[in-house]
Amino acid sequence: MHISSINTIVLLPQLPYLDTELEPVISAKTISFHYGKHHAGYVNTLNKLIEGTPFAGQALEDIVLAAAKDPKAVAIFHNAAQVWNHNFYWKSMRASGGGEPSGTLKRSIDNDFGSFKEFREAFSKAGVGQFGSGWVWLTANRGGALEISVSDNADTPLTAGKTPLITLDLWEHAYYLDYQNLRANYIAAWFDKLVDWHFAEENLG
């Protein structure tokens, strides 16, 4: 699905998989609402908000960073950041993903968290403990060290100068149809079967 018109400069990207390929962890029904309604809605709203403003024509990441510094552009930031976060979230997963990383990423995780098991426990704890809507991230800071962080609502590590490696969406629309209030089960299934460590490794550089 793409959204395009003469005045539209931010597009809804195609998913990197069919909406049935993440089942049974994430159902096609969840994706139809999450991607087709929520994500698409942020794209539509953002394009309306930036039309005729200096943000029009800018790359999405540039809109996020510029709007974050502008107190008059709060609505633009919220929608732009949600579009960016969702784009990144979909890429953080793949069919038949999960398991443990390898190579440089595995060594970095072992170095900064002690072991993959300890990293997974810390990431899961952060995700379960996030109050309300938001995101849980694995990022690299400016010095290269890996960190786990959570962000509220539409906030993103981009505005803190960190490099996102993977993210998991903690908004209820990401998992409630499949897991109801059992967020921990959603996180565990994502780790076991979906997370794309190849994508994370590419972002680590």
> What pLDDT band is residue 135 in, cutting at 50, 70 and 90?
very high
75 and 111 assigned to the same domain: no
**Residue 5 falls within a domain, yes or no?**
no
Distance CA 21, CA 58 (A): 33
User: Would you state the pLDDT for residue 21?
Assistant: 98
Question: Mean of the per-residue pLDDT values for the chain?
Answer: 94
**Total-model pTM:** 0.94
CATH number at residue 61: 1.10.287.990
Structure confidence by residue, pLDDT tens digits, 59-112: 999 999 999 999 999 999 999 999 999 999 999 999 999 999 999 999 999 999
CA dihedral 30, 123, 14, 197 (to 10 degrees): -130
Average pLDDT rounded to a whole number, residues 173-194? 97
pLDDT band at 171 (very low <50, low <70, confident <90, very high): very high
Q: How far is CA 29 from CA 18, 54, 115, in A?
A: 12, 37, 35
Range of the domain at 65: 28-91
Q: How far apart are the first and last CA of the chain?
A: 30
Q: Verify that 152 and 131 share a domain, yes or no.
A: yes
d(CA 80, CA 1): 18
In a domain, 4, yes or no: no
Q: What CATH number does residue 133 fall under?
A: 3.55.40.20
pLDDT tens per residue across span 26-39: 999 999 999 999 99
pLDDT of residue 1: 32
Q: Is the pLDDT of residue 7 over 80?
A: no
Q: How many domains does the chain have?
A: 2
180 and 115 share a domain? yes
